[in-house]
């Protein structure tokens, strides 16, 4: 696995989350995910909707209980801590949600919302809390007049800034950002992303950035983990993944993202995956991607590929076809772009 | 629009104390005409219930020389079939009817809301047991249920209040639980859990305030229903006993004399209608004022 210089801030080991779906059916939302994030590192967790990436985020905060596996924060296993024992540790990790319209209590003023973590952990109250909240709001680009506003008076972008302020006011070591800009207009997305990048650089928190949008992680992640149907299929440094994706699924994903250069875009070869993502109620045996993989062989249909790093570099892939001297090329079977 | 010329005042404190909050809510309330009418009506009825009987004389004093009299100087609202003063009876009946309506509803809310909160929040076996019981009791019509309970509890005002509040309980539990189920899925509740908020804090600062709307509406509908319910129970002999008056008793007594003395039906009927209106307007106003999204 990865070997960051210091102790990882977050380590997730073989995380499994199954939901009962009635009549003995089981949704395999997350099926054996391992990842770790070093101090100050941003890990982009990428996947289609239904790939289980948000569930990973929720398990890390124990907003949902994992079926099995471990979650360690700063070297401490929190998987089996009671809610009470977990409470003081919650200072170190916070979350920003996707939907700006349901993530703020409509009955609280913005000041109250951002001050909640301060009061909860008995760090500041009264005038001192007001001072800290004002300072934090200023850092996320909101003026002091926002303090007494209610959430419904703010725009989506402003609300996400409030969510950021709430998540960061205790200066956590880890922030889980669950699609924090996906619900925003493109122009607002850019400004909120810039804000997150700046804050991350200034405050140095580690970040699990969950998104379905590759262009977003390319912009701010140090490393990327790609999820498909509850499993990580490939992980590695951002630049490497974008330059030389190894897993056929990653190759397909990258080839689907448009390039902002019409000439290049026209010359690119696109892998168009056939069919839908199979149901997590009954994931395919063997490699979960084999039903849609353009280069799948017999072995893929029966044997589950391990996430392993056979080539040099911190770049493990879960694919039988990746060997020390061979990387499959899903785009070889594709036609040149229209 | 003179207010708009002022520049927004710089706000240093947002975390206004309780007194501040109360003052702000009262300002929001006062600004709305309909809730103010409702409040006036409700206060007027409370005054009538508390002080009316003190000035109106004995509601049970009979005068066989003046039965079924139309309104006059001596009897401003007329007299009934036993020559009792209708005003004295209406004033004294206000006590019974408002107690039956308001107390039973408050009691049902005080008991039902915590049960609904717990069932919706903790789910599991607690929810299953509570909801099965609620389903079973909701299978009985409200009045049938209340009549059965009143028969067990014995004929008295206390029995009526308890029976009516118990009969309302399933609806209160069901509404509260439904709200909890919807609101607990909101991201702001998850954010509070991620903060390390205690269950009590989440229930009473996040979930309950955001379910206040439907509960207040339920209460304003329940009060008039309970007032009528008291009338029915008393009519069946399961409520307050004669000669104690209540609006419901007066209304059902007046049916016999509708052609000779229609005012006997008009007064209690009018008061029940006005009380219903008053509680409804007050409730709607409360709901709006407590919700920051409803404007200034």
Spatial strand order of the sheet with A206-211 comes to A93-96, A174-178, A206-211, A42-47, A223-228, A231-237
CATH class of segment(s) B49-56+76-294: mainly alpha
Q: Does the residue A288 lie in any domain?
A: yes
> Is A63 in Cβ contact with B194 (below 8 Å)?
yes
Ramachandran class of A230: left when φ > 0, alpha when ψ lies in -120 to 50, beta otherwise: left
pLDDT digit string, tens, across residues B134-183: 999 888 888 888 888 888 988 888 888 999 999 999 999 999 999 999 99
> Is B188 in Cβ contact with A104 (below 8 Å)?
yes
- Please state the rounded mean pLDDT for residues A11-36: 87
Residue B96, pLDDT above cutoff 60: yes
Q: Does the residue A3 lie in any domain?
A: no
Chain A: closest CA distance from residue B172 (Å): 22
Interface probe for A, chosen from B15, B199, B206, B213 (most Cβ of A below 10 Å), is B15
In this complex, how many residue pairs, one in chain A and one in chain B, have their CB atoms less than 8 Å apart? 83
Distances (CA, A) of A152 to A102, A105, A298, B20: 10, 10, 55, 21
Domain range enclosing A318: 244-338
User: Which pLDDT score, from 0 to 100, does residue B14 have?
Assistant: 52
CA-nearest residue to A107 within chain B is B292
Among A193, A223, A243, residue at a domain's last position: A243
Q: Do A150 and A83 fall into the same domain? A: yes
* Biggest alpha carbon–alpha carbon distance for chain A: 68
CA-nearest residue to A100 within chain B is B187
* Burial (0-12, 13-18, 19+ Cβ within 10 Å), B51: exposed
CA-nearest residue to A98 within chain B is B187
Q: Do A225 and A303 fall into the same domain? A: no
Q: Do A279 and A197 fall into the same domain? A: no
Q: Do A96 and A117 fall into the same domain? A: yes
Give the integer Cα–Cα distance in Å for B264 and B273: 15
* Exposure b/e, B105-118, CB count within 10 A at least 16 = b: bebbbebbbebbbb
- Is residue B186 less than 8 Å (CB to CB) from chain A? yes
Task: Enter the DSSP assignment of B100.
Answer: I
User: Which pLDDT score, from 0 to 100, does residue B28 have?
Assistant: 85
Give the integer Cα–Cα distance in Å for A240 and B183: 43
> Is A106 in Cβ contact with B293 (below 8 Å)?
yes
User: Which pLDDT score, from 0 to 100, does residue A311 have?
Assistant: 64
| Banded pLDDT at B2 (limits 50, 70, 90) | very low
Chain A: closest CA distance from residue B92 (Å): 41
Residue B66, pLDDT above cutoff 70: yes
Residue B13, pLDDT above cutoff 60: no
Chain A residues lying within 8 Å of B8, measured CB to CB: 145
Q: Do A72 and A38 fall into the same domain? A: yes
* Biggest alpha carbon–alpha carbon distance for chain B: 77
Q: Does the residue A229 lie in any domain?
A: yes
Distances (CA, A) of A331 to A253, A255, B215: 11, 8, 59
ipTM at complex level: 0.86
Give the integer Cα–Cα distance in Å for A170 and A158: 20
Q: Does the residue A196 lie in any domain?
A: yes
Q: Do A249 and A238 fall into the same domain? A: no
Chain A: closest CA distance from residue B218 (Å): 20
Token pair recorded at residue A20 = 């009962």
Residues 55-84 of B with CB under 8 A from A: none
| Banded pLDDT at A223 (limits 50, 70, 90) | very high
Q: CB of B97 within 8 A of CB of B164?
A: no
> Is A91 in Cβ contact with B196 (below 8 Å)?
yes
pLDDT digit string, tens, across residues B197-252: 889 999 999 999 999 888 988 898 898 888 888 888 887 888 888 788 888 888 88
Q: Does the residue A1 lie in any domain?
A: no
Q: Do A176 and A290 fall into the same domain? A: no
Q: What is the CATH number of the domain that holds A62?
A: 3.40.50.300
pLDDT digit string, tens, across residues A241-295: 888 888 888 888 888 777 777 777 777 777 777 777 888 888 888 888 888 888 8
Q: Do A178 and A46 fall into the same domain? A: yes
Whole-model pTM: value is 0.82
Q: Does the residue A4 lie in any domain?
A: no
| Banded pLDDT at A2 (limits 50, 70, 90) | very low
Residue B112, pLDDT above cutoff 80: yes
Q: Do A206 and A251 fall into the same domain? A: no
Residue A315: its H or E element: none
Chain A: closest CA distance from residue B291 (Å): 7
pLDDT digit string, tens, across residues A160-169: 999 999 999 9
Q: Do A35 and A100 fall into the same domain? A: yes
Q: How many domains does chain A have?
A: 2
What is the residue extent of each domain of chain B? 49-56+76-294
Among A243, A271, A296, residue at a domain's last position: A243
Q: CB of A268 within 8 A of CB of A278?
A: no
CA-nearest residue to B17 within chain A is A126
- Please state the rounded mean pLDDT for residues A179-201: 89
User: Which pLDDT score, from 0 to 100, does residue A158 have?
Assistant: 92
CA-nearest residue to B188 within chain A is A103
pLDDT digit string, tens, across residues A193-213: 999 999 999 999 999 999 988
Q: Do A23 and A161 fall into the same domain? A: yes
Chain A residues lying within 8 Å of B209, measured CB to CB: 107
Among A215, A243, A271, residue at a domain's last position: A243
Q: Do A88 and A211 fall into the same domain? A: yes
**E-strand stretches of chain A:** 10-20, 26-37, 42-47, 68-73, 76-77, 93-96, 174-178, 206-211, 223-228, 231-237
């Amino acid at each position: 696995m990865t070997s960051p210089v210091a102790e990882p801030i977050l380590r997730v080991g073989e995380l499994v989350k199954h939901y009962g779906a009635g009549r003995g059916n089981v949704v395999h939302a997350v099926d054996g995910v391992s990842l770790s994030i070093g101090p100050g590192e941003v890990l982009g967790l990428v996947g289609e909707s239904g790939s289980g990436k948000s569930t990973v985020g929720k398990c890390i905060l124990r907003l949902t209980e994992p079926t099995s596996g471990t979650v360690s924060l700063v070297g401490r296993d929190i998987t089996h801590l009671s809610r009470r024992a977990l409470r003081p540790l919650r200072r170190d990790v916070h979350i920003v949600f996707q939907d700006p319209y349901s993530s703020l209590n409509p009955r609280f003023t913005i000041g109250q919302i951002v001050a909640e973590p301060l009061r909860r952990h008995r760090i500041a109250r009264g005038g001192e809390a007001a001072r800290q909240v004002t300072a934090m709001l200023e850092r996320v680009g909101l003026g002091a007049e926002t303090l007494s506003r209610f959430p419904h008076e703010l725009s989506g972008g402003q609300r996400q800034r409030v969510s950021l302020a709430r998540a960061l006011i205790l200066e956590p070591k880890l922030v889980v950002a669950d699609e924090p800009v996906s619900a925003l207009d493109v122009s607002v997305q850019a400004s909120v992303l810039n804000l997150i990048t700046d804050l991350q650089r200034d405050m140095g928190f580690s970040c699990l950035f969950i998104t379905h949008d590759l262009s977003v992680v390319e912009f701010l992640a140090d490393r990327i983990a790609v999820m498909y149907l509850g499993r990580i299929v490939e992980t590695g440094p951002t630049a490497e993944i974008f330059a030389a994706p190894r897993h056929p699924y990653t190759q397909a994903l990258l080839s689907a993202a448009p390039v902002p250069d019409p000439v290049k875009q026209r010359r690119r070869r696109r892998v168009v995956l056939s069919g839908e993502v199979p149901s997590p109620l009954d994931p395919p045996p063997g490699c979960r991607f084999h039903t849609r993989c353009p280069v799948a062989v017999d072995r893929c249909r029966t044997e589950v590929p391990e996430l392993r790093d056979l080539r040099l570099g911190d770049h493990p892939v879960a694919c039988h076809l990746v060997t020390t001297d061979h990387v499959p090329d899903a785009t070889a079977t594709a036609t040149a772009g229209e | 629009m003179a207010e708009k010329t002022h520049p927004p005042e710089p706000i240093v404190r947002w975390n206004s104390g309780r007194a501040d909050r109360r003052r702000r809510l009262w300002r929001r309330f006062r600004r709305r005409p309909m809730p103010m009418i409702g409040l006036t009506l409700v206060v007027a009825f409370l005054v009538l219930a508390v002080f009316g009987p003190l000035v109106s004389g004995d509601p049970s004093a009979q005068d066989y020389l003046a039965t079924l009299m139309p309104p006059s100087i001596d009897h401003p609202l007329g007299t009934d079939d036993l020559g009792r003063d209708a005003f004295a009876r209406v004033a004294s009946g206000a006590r019974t009817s408002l107690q039956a309506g308001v107390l039973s509803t408050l009691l049902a809310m005080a008991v039902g809301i915590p049960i609904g909160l717990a069932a919706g929040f903790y789910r599991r076996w607690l929810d299953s047991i509570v909801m099965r019981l609620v389903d079973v009791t909701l299978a009985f019509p409200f009045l049938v249920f209340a009549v059965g309970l009143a028969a067990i509890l014995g004929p008295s005002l206390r029995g009526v209040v308890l029976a009516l509040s118990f009969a309302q309980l399933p609806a209160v539990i069901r509404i509260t639980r439904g709200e909890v189920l919807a609101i607990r899925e909101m991201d702001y509740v998850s954010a509070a859990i991620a903060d390390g908020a205690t269950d009590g804090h989440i229930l009473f600062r996040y979930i309950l305030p955001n379910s206040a709307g439907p509960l207040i509406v339920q209460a304003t509908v329940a009060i008039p229903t309970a007032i009528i319910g008291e009338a029915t129970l008393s009519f069946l002999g399961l409520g307050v006993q004669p000669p104690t008056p209540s609006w419901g008793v007066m209304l059902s007594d007046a049916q016999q004399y509708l052609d000779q003395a229609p005012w006997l039906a008009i007064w209690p009927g009018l008061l029940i209608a006005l009380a219903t209106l008053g509680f409804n307007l007050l409730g709607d106003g409360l709901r709006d004022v407590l919700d920051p999204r409803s404007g200034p």
